[in-house]
Structure formats: structure tokens, C-alpha cells
Chains A and B, each alone.
Chain A
């Protein structure tokens, strides 16, 4: 698997600068007859939504015509999110107004799911609303692999971590939940998916034909579910990932991350059940997989981690003798 993994990493991992020529990208999109919808799910994001809509719409719809449709799908903000987004030209929807017969659930995944119904594009690109250093690369870096390569169905973002080491090597990975929860779980059950450097990143683009065929957790587990369901159906070859450099956003408290982990774990265990793995657990993998990056190349680091166990002390003869205890039946 290591060779396959390295080959996938080399071929399906991009940097946004690979797609700097937007004119060519738009030509390719038009040649293939693709349409692209951009969706920003929101809940009380008045401080950042104006800039996101302004920059992305102006650069990618007005200047280059890469994006055909720009929607903000709001969960019912009680600040001025919808007003500000509308002032800069986004199509603004209340999630509760879309498919009302299906009821209204509150969560980011709900908005992403309803976007499939509401928007028209062949490709839907989702971008979180809380990015304070928003730049067009957050969109073109994700839709470009789908435009250029028909086999890729889902392109996910990853970001530079603001850590630098004098050796030129630096760890490259996700946030705390990724490193503490997701990567260990993937290493155990879905080792190939450990190639996805930041599996929980909130920015990704996917083809409608795959989005419409998978269920959407409405809460924290939506990104994890996407990866697991599409991997189960199409394999690792359906994925791409793009380095979008730095992403500046709100930092979450440890308590919030605990809640997030709890939701993700539910999703993960549900997938283990539906993929038939929970009752027939495979032999546990003992290789833990992380990443490092050197001069733009990503390399997987593997660590053998064997969690050996000792029996209860009460079962040790010497202990019983020392404590003058008799063996329990």
C-alpha cells in the first residue's frame, strides 16, 4: 500500500498556485460544459461574510466567470449576516425555506445538504464563512482538480500550519481533533484515508453526481461522513487535496472541540456499522500515520505503535506470594 499511497499523494495533492492561470481554467470549464455553484453556509457571520462575498464574487464571477452561482445559505442568523451578504450580491437563502416539507434541522450539514437541492451547478464548492484571510484561491484551488481531471470527484482543502522549523522540515497536519481523534481512527480502520492531510477542513468541492448519493449528517460529522462514504463507494482515487496556504479563522475552545469530537465519533461508529466493520473488527493496524513536508513534497511518516497489555497484578503468582494471597478461583 505504501507505493500506492505515495503515488496518490504525488498525483492527487496540489498547491493552489498550480492553478494560477484562471483564464485557462475557465476555458477548460467551458469546454467541458461544467457549471459551478459556490455555497457559503452561515450562522451569525456578519463580521466576515461581507468580505467573502465581495472578494469571491468580484474575482470569480465578475472578473473570470469561474463561478456561475453564488449562494449564502443561512441557518437563521440573528445578526446582519443575510443583509450584508445580500448587499454584496450573493443569492441569500434561509435554510428553513428550502425543502420545507423535509422540516428544519439546525446545523452546517443541513445547509450543505439543502444546497444540493437549491443550487444548479454540476460542481458545488463549499467554503466556510469565518475565514478572515479570504482569497479566490479558496475556491479555484478546489474546483480546479475537478475541472481538469474527470476521475476526481471530491477535492478537499488543507492548509499550512504556522509552525516552522530551522531544519526545513515541518509537521503538516490538521487541528487538534484531526490529530487526536481522526488520524488515529483512520490509521486503525481506514489507513488509506490517512493520506487526506486535513480531513476536517471545511472547504471542499464535489460533483453533484456524488453529493446527491450520500447522506449528510447535519452536525459536526459531515466532513467525516463524506470521506468515509465516498471512499467506500469510489476508493481513494476519487479524492484530491489542495494546499491553500494559510487560513486564518476563529480558534475553538477545548470544550467546543470536545463536543465536535463526540459528534464525529458518532458518525464514525455509524459508518463502521454500515460498512459492516463493527461486528467483525479486523486485526488492529499498529502503524500510526502522520505527515511531514519538505520543499513542497508531502511524505507520510509511519510509527509502529503497539499497545501491549499487562494482566491484572492479582493474576501474577509472584505478586500473590509476596502479598501472601491465595489464587482467586
Chain B
């Protein structure tokens, strides 16, 4: 046992020592990586509308001679890069959808040190790294022992509710040694747990027989703002850490017409599932009470629900990831995930989410990734794959 530990430490030390030299060599694949990112980024891929982007992904898998490229029933694209031994499989995934609709101009602008365009950071550059991974490994002369299963998963964001990732992990027959979710931003991100979350949408409608002469009568905007105020009065505990984020309010269309309907989107997150359940119950009661009080129709819809899950901070996968980041002078920012990592962990596999580079204006149409830090981010990803491949991350 002790001898295995010493061997493991030696192997990790050797691997860490090689990382800085790899950053420069990875930049030899810069053009292919960035071209993939731009071509992917220019194909609109709103959640539930990722088909065209997925076709591009599957074509690339085929062009790269990967094994068993396939699109599953849910629309996910996957393919296998066989290892020299193939006893284990490592899952590397990136979500293919973004928050921009088909009408958004998806043209990317390529400068000498940055790329700007909607969804380039979240997640065209992340997805591009998956497509380019075989070339990146080749550039370093690396051949892993484990198989790599590359996955572009769909229906991840918003109402997608991780459907693609859940579907893939539920239907695939392979056990995974570990899973890595790749996000374009932000370098240093280290997620190893999924945060309990509840995404809610409240729709408010003023009925046709609404009594406009009653006390407090008003349009949908005023009602919704009162409702927001009431939700904010619900006590939110500091421990376990809990937050309520209001992410969207849609109501009204002009200056002088009282709107009759509107909707409110918000997310409750907590480190304790019981707190999420309790807050959900309070919001539900409050919605019903508000509906009766105000004479409006208020409907609460639960769009997404995720339980708390994760691996420990002391898990070898997390410890090794931190060591790799340290060797690259990347400061880890530990942040529980509400994304695809939840699906990996819920399926019983250890996993982490990594960010590749620095980004600006996230989720705006002028979203930007900086190119200089990108290769350090990729070196981090490849080092972690090697560590998993060497058995350094097994619990």
C-alpha cells in the first residue's frame, strides 16, 4: 500500500514537472482549435435547437477517425478515442447549447489575441477543445492507456435541465473512471460538487373579469414587483449557504399600455436539500396567497431541480486537480456547479468541471475569450487526463 502511494507520488511529480513545457507545444494546434471554435460558434445552438451544431461535431468526429461516432436519441454526439489498453474509460464532455436564439447574429470576430462573439466562451471554445483533443494529445506525443469518450451534450442550460447529460449517462453502458466537464470560462474554476438548486418560473395573469376598481388594482408589472418583494421577505439562512437569485422579469411591451401578463424567473440554491424544499414550499404558499389576495392568476412552475451531490475536497481527483493548477500557477476558485457535473456525480462517477481561459462579457453578444491563457488551460486538462489515466485519481 505504502509502496503504491510512493509510486503514485513519483508519477505525479514527474507529470507535474512536464506540464510547463507542454503549454508552448500545445499552441502548435492553435489554428485547428480556434477554427473549430469559430465554426462551432457561428452555428446557432439555443437549448433544444442544437441540431446543426451537433451535425458539425459528428462530422468532425468522423473526419478525425474516432471510433463509433453517434448521435443518440436525445441529440447528444459522442465518439471514442481508443486508448492503448482500453480497460477504463474517461468521459470528457462539453455542453453544445448556448443562451442565444437563432435570430442572434452569431458572427465571430477574430483578433490577434481574442475572439469575440455570442457564446464563444460558453461554450464554443470548451466544445472546440473536445473536438481538438485528439490533435492536442498528438502534438504532445501522448497516447493514453484509457479510452476517452468525447461527448457534446445537448439540452443542458435553462429549461434543458441537463436532459442531454442525464440521458447519455443513464443509457450508456460504460462505467467511467472519471468525468471532466469542460467550460470555456473561467480558468481556475474547480467544481467537484453539484449545488442543490431549484429553478422556478412564476407566471402572473390578470383575468378577463378582473375588478379594476378594487383596492390595490394594478397591472402585471406592479403585481410582479410586489411579488418579488414578498419573496425577498422570506428568511434565507446563512448556514447552510443559501441564495435566491432573480434572473429574469418579462412584462409589458410599450409605454402606456397596462400589461395583463408577465413572468418571473428565479433560482434557489442551497448546500442543504431540506432548505431548498422548505423555500420551495414557502414560495408555493406565497404564490397561492398572493393570487387570492390580488385577484390575479399566479402559477408557479418548477423548471429544474437538482439535488446536492459531489465528491469530497479530499478526493484524489480534486487533490490532483489542485496540484496541477498549482504547477501552472493557476489559483483554484472552488465553486459548486449547477451544470453538467451534477449529472456525472448523480450517475455515480467522480467528476470535476474545469474552465479553460479568461472571458469577458459572459452571456452578452460581445462575449470574449482571451487566447493567451487558453493553452495553460488546455495543459491543465491534458495533465488531469494523464493523471486519471495513471490511476492517480482513483479513490
- A: residues with CB less than 8 A from B are 46-48, 50-51, 54-55, 57-59, 62-63, 80, 83-84, 87-89, 132-133, 135, 248
- The answer to whether A248 touches B107, judged by C-beta atoms less than 8 angstroms apart, is yes
Give Cα A133 to B112, complex, Å.
18
Q: 12 A-B residue contacts at CB 8 Å?
A: A48-B109, A50-B109, A51-B109, A54-B34, A54-B38, A55-B39, A57-B31, A58-B31, A62-B31, A84-B110, A88-B112, A133-B42
Question: Which residue in chain A gives the minimum CB-CB distance to B110?
Answer: A50
- B: residues with CB less than 8 A from A are 31-32, 34-35, 38-39, 42, 63, 107-112
CB distance from B395 to the nearest CB of A (A): 40
Question: Which residue in chain A gives the minimum CB-CB distance to B32?
Answer: A58
Give Cα A168 to B240, complex, Å.
61
Give Cα A57 to B38, complex, Å.
13
5 smallest beta-carbon distances between A and B, as pairs: A50-B110, A58-B35, A87-B112, A51-B110, A58-B31
Which of A47, A57, A89, A133 is in CB contact (< 8 Å) with B109? A47
Give Cα A50 to B116, complex, Å.
12
Which of A55, A62, A63, A83 is in CB contact (< 8 Å) with B112? A83
CB distance from B85 to the nearest CB of A (A): 29
User: Hey, which chain B residues are within 8 Å of A59, CB to CB?
Assistant: 35
CB distance from B32 to the nearest CB of A (A): 6
Question: Which residue in chain A gives the minimum CB-CB distance to B117?
Answer: A51
Question: Which residue in chain B gives the minimum CB-CB distance to A56?
Answer: B35
CB distance from A267 to the nearest CB of B (A): 33
CB distance from A154 to the nearest CB of B (A): 29
User: Hey, which chain A residues are within 8 Å of B31, CB to CB?
Assistant: 54, 57-58, 62, 88-89
Question: Which residue in chain B gives the minimum CB-CB distance to A248?
Answer: B107
- The answer to whether A50 touches B112, judged by C-beta atoms less than 8 angstroms apart, is yes
Give Cα A256 to B152, complex, Å.
46
Give Cα A57 to B110, complex, Å.
14
User: Hey, which chain A residues are within 8 Å of B35, CB to CB?
Assistant: 54-55, 58-59
- The answer to whether B109 touches A63, judged by C-beta atoms less than 8 angstroms apart, is no
CB distance from B152 to the nearest CB of A (A): 19
Question: Which residue in chain B gives the minimum CB-CB distance to A52?
Answer: B110
Question: Which residue in chain B gives the minimum CB-CB distance to A64?
Answer: B63
User: Hey, which chain B residues are within 8 Å of A135, CB to CB?
Assistant: 39
> Known: A51-B110, A248-B107. Contact between A63 and B32, CB under 8 A?
yes
CB distance from B29 to the nearest CB of A (A): 9
User: Hey, which chain A residues are within 8 Å of B109, CB to CB?
Assistant: 47-48, 50-51
Give Cα A87 to B110, complex, Å.
11
CB distance from B137 to the nearest CB of A (A): 17
CB distance from A299 to the nearest CB of B (A): 30
CB distance from B44 to the nearest CB of A (A): 12
Which of A88, A133, A248 is in CB contact (< 8 Å) with B110? A88
Give Cα A13 to B112, complex, Å.
38
With most chain B CB atoms within 10 A of its CB, the pick from A62, A83, A89 is: A62
- The answer to whether B38 touches A55, judged by C-beta atoms less than 8 angstroms apart, is yes
- The answer to whether A133 touches B107, judged by C-beta atoms less than 8 angstroms apart, is yes
20 additional A-B pairs beyond A51-B108, A132-B107, A133-B107, beta carbons within 8 Å, are A48-B109, A50-B109, A50-B110, A50-B112, A51-B38, A51-B110, A54-B110, A55-B35, A55-B38, A58-B31, A58-B34, A58-B35, A63-B63, A80-B112, A83-B112, A84-B110, A84-B111, A87-B112, A88-B110, A248-B107
Give Cα A48 to B112, complex, Å.
11
User: Hey, which chain A residues are within 8 Å of B39, CB to CB?
Assistant: 55, 135
User: Hey, which chain A residues are within 8 Å of B112, CB to CB?
Assistant: 50, 80, 83-84, 87-88
User: Hey, which chain B residues are within 8 Å of A132, CB to CB?
Assistant: 107
CB distance from A88 to the nearest CB of B (A): 7
CB distance from B43 to the nearest CB of A (A): 11
With most chain B CB atoms within 10 A of its CB, the pick from A46, A58, A83, A133 is: A58
User: Hey, which chain B residues are within 8 Å of A89, CB to CB?
Assistant: 31
Give Cα A54 to B111, complex, Å.
10
User: Hey, which chain A residues are within 8 Å of B32, CB to CB?
Assistant: 58, 62-63
CB distance from A1 to the nearest CB of B (A): 42
Give Cα A47 to B116, complex, Å.
11
Give Cα A294 to B63, complex, Å.
33
Give Cα A133 to B110, complex, Å.
12
CB distance from A24 to the nearest CB of B (A): 13
With most chain B CB atoms within 10 A of its CB, the pick from A50, A57, A80 is: A50
- The answer to whether A50 touches B107, judged by C-beta atoms less than 8 angstroms apart, is no
Give Cα A46 to B112, complex, Å.
10
Question: Which residue in chain B gives the minimum CB-CB distance to A132?
Answer: B107
User: Hey, which chain B residues are within 8 Å of A57, CB to CB?
Assistant: 31
User: Hey, which chain B residues are within 8 Å of A84, CB to CB?
Assistant: 110-112
User: Hey, which chain A residues are within 8 Å of B63, CB to CB?
Assistant: 63
CB distance from B280 to the nearest CB of A (A): 45
Give Cα A83 to B63, complex, Å.
32
Give Cα A72 to B370, complex, Å.
25
Question: Which residue in chain B gives the minimum CB-CB distance to A51?
Answer: B110
User: Hey, which chain A residues are within 8 Å of B34, CB to CB?
Assistant: 54, 58
Give Cα A84 to B111, complex, Å.
6
- The answer to whether B111 touches A50, judged by C-beta atoms less than 8 angstroms apart, is yes
Give Cα A144 to B110, complex, Å.
27
Give Cα A133 to B35, complex, Å.
13
